[in-house]
Structure 1
């Protein structure tokens, strides 16, 4: 089976830890599709090991868990609060010493 798109949105950019979480909602057929996709497109040994382990678990009776594939906890939100940096917290400018560069006095 050769898919043009994986059954998980944004699959190619997912960190491994997130991928392990996201594949838990897939059933056996979807796992086989994802394995075929990975073998055809990336063929990454570590990723395939994780996918095969999950497929084996499903074949042994594990159930897919509920979850929203669109949920992306790995995407940070905007920073909260402001920056404490301002004119009153900035270090004074460092210029030349009053006597200039020591090398220039030779």
Structure 2
């Protein structure tokens, strides 16, 4: 059994799937206890140095008096399930007219 909090108890949904680059904005609205929980989870499970550096820096800032700002649980569109997310319909572009000297693939053939 691993030490630290369980994944289901983490303050961020899909924490394990968040890109490292979005982590600072994702944790900005969390309280000190929430960030400490993420640090503990990361040390017990992934132990990724860049992630720990981000989390520990934010924890130090909160301990020094920084206030959480932003939503507590921000949207995470980068980890949404593409099977349930509607995709935009593709639309055809404008018609392509061949140049006046002929069709690009066969210059000897005149335009129709």
Q: Following superposition, which runs of at least 4 residues in structure 1 exceed 4 angstroms of deviation?
A: 75-79
Instruction: Give yes or no for the alignment of 1:11 onto 2:15.
Output: yes
Change over 3 Å in CA distance of 1:63–1:2 after alignment to 2: same
| CA–CA separation in structure 1 for the residues paired with 2:77 and 2:61 | 24
Computed over aligned residues only, the root mean square deviation of the Cα atoms, in angstroms, reads 2.8
Larger radius of gyration: 1
Q: Which residue of 1 aligns with 2:35?
A: 31
Q: Which residue of 2 aligns with 1:82?
A: 90
Instruction: Give yes or no for the alignment of 1:71 onto 2:75.
Output: yes
Q: Which residue of 1 aligns with 2:100?
A: none
| CA–CA separation in structure 2 for the residues paired with 1:9 and 1:62 | 23
> 3-state SS of the aligned residue for 2:28?
helix
Following superposition, the deviation at residue 33 of structure 1 comes to 0.6
Instruction: In structure 1, list runs of 5 or more residues that go unmatched.
Output: 90-106
Instruction: In structure 2, list runs of 5 or more residues that go unmatched.
Output: 97-112
Indicate if the aligned counterparts of 1:18 and 1:74 stay in contact, CA closer than 8 A.
no
Name the structure where helix makes up a greater proportion of residues.
1
Q: Which residue of 1 aligns with 2:57?
A: 53
